Structure 1
Amino acid sequence: MNTIYYLASCDTCRKIIKSLPKDAKLKYHDIKQDPLTEKEIDEMYNLCGSYEALFSKRAQLYKQLGLKDKNLTEVDFKKYLLEHYTFLSRPVFIIDDKIYIGNSQKVINEVISALS
């Protein structure tokens, strides 16, 4: 099943969801209400090849915890992704075993094409 991992309270995520084709068959996974499991994060990792690619360095906690001043490893990125939903670069789409990460216009255009 094609899935979107998003945050329901995020204006950007809501705007992106509204821009998707109306007939898009997606499973909606609100990462705040239903935190990511290690299995889900590992599935994402297998599709993109990096925990760092899934990690949002724009998260407020990233700065608050002083993580920007540390040399984080893939193990660290995975640990933080499991600890708090805010570290996931949102939204993440998994469509036909391909992953789309983030909210850049290029990524959203690719998602819309994949769903059409």
Structure 2
Amino acid sequence: MIIYGLKNCDTCRKVMKALPGAELRDVRVDPVPEAILTAALAHFGEALVNKRSTTWRGLNESERAQQPMTLILAYPAVMKRPLIAVDKSFFLGWNSAIELEIKALL
């Protein structure tokens, strides 16, 4: 199980506590592989872009108009997090329902 997020993100820290066997990959240091990003975009669409993030608010209109894949590759912190990959299943965000779903898969 791999968690794509930021090491200093409070939500990502909560996930790591709840799922101690998971591996956290800081997307600023180790970007999401394109194959994983493509699959996540197919599953979540534009919801993968966090339009409430500080990074998003700092982008100009032409940068915001880019395709989600291009945008996330150029600005990894604009991705909604955490993106959790469990085998071939993907989860976006964190709440008790997602936690139960993931633990049921393990």
1:16 is aligned to 2:12: no
1:64 is aligned to 2:52: no
Equivalent residue for 2:69?
A: 78
Query: Could you tell me which of 27, 30, 41 is aligned with 2:26?
Result: 30
Bigger drift between 100-109 and 53-62 goes to 100-109
1:104 is aligned to 2:95: yes
Q: SS state of the match for residue 25, structure 2?
A: strand
Q: SS state of the match for residue 29, structure 1?
A: strand
Equivalent residue for 1:42?
A: 38
Contact kept in structure 1, 2:16 and 2:24, CA below 8 Å? no
Structure 2: runs of 5 or more not aligned: none
Contact kept in structure 2, 1:93 and 1:111, CA below 8 Å? no
The two structures have a TM-score, normalised by structure 1, of: 0.72
Query: Could you tell me which of 27, 35, 47 is aligned with 1:53?
Result: 47
Identity %: 27
Equivalent residue for 2:84?
A: 93
